[in-house]
Amino acid sequence: MLEFIFGLIAEAFLFFIVPKSKFDKNVEKLKQEKWFSNLEEDYRYNYIIWNSRKVKRYIAKSSNITMLLNDDQEQKKFTELIKQEHIKFAIKGKGV
């Protein structure tokens, strides 16, 4: 019983104290943008955003987020990156 209580306290501590990662914070910022929100709502691209190492590394860098928020060309390049990563994933999944 005591172990259970300590477990609950530890879980609560981790939930409220551990800060969000840069990636999570940057995704929250990007969700404010219509173009990113549309990408993230598409289940194919949502999977890539949350699971592709390449995309996650890109999103985790604050300088990239600044460019994405201010530069239409960078948004287009990022969207292409997402689509290319999806194509790679889809081909890999078919065993080709």
| DSSP notation for 8-53 | HHHHHHHHHHSPPPHHHHHHHHHTTSHHHHHHHHSHHHHHHHHH-H
Does residue 13 belong to any structural domain of this protein?
A: no
The label of the residue with tokens 């879980």 reads 11
The label of the residue with tokens 């551990």 reads 18
Q: What is the percent of the chain where pLDDT is above 90?
A: 70
Indicate the pTM of the whole model.
0.74
Does residue 10 belong to any structural domain of this protein?
A: no
Q: How many domains does the chain have?
A: 1
> In this predicted structure, what is the pLDDT of residue 1?
67
pLDDT in tens, 55-91: 999 999 999 999 999 999 999 999 999 999 999 988 8
Does residue 64 belong to any structural domain of this protein?
A: yes
Q: Which two tokens stand for residue 39?
A: 């990408």
Does residue 15 belong to any structural domain of this protein?
A: no
Tell me the residue range of the domain where 64 lies: 20-93
Does residue 68 belong to any structural domain of this protein?
A: yes
Does residue 50 belong to any structural domain of this protein?
A: yes
Q: Work out the end-to-end distance of the chain between its first and last CA atoms, rounded to an integer number of angstroms.
A: 52
Residue 15 has pLDDT above 70, yes or no: no
CA 86 vs CA 2, 39, 43, 54, 76: distances in Å: 47, 12, 11, 12, 15
Cα separation, 66 vs 46, whole angstroms: 21
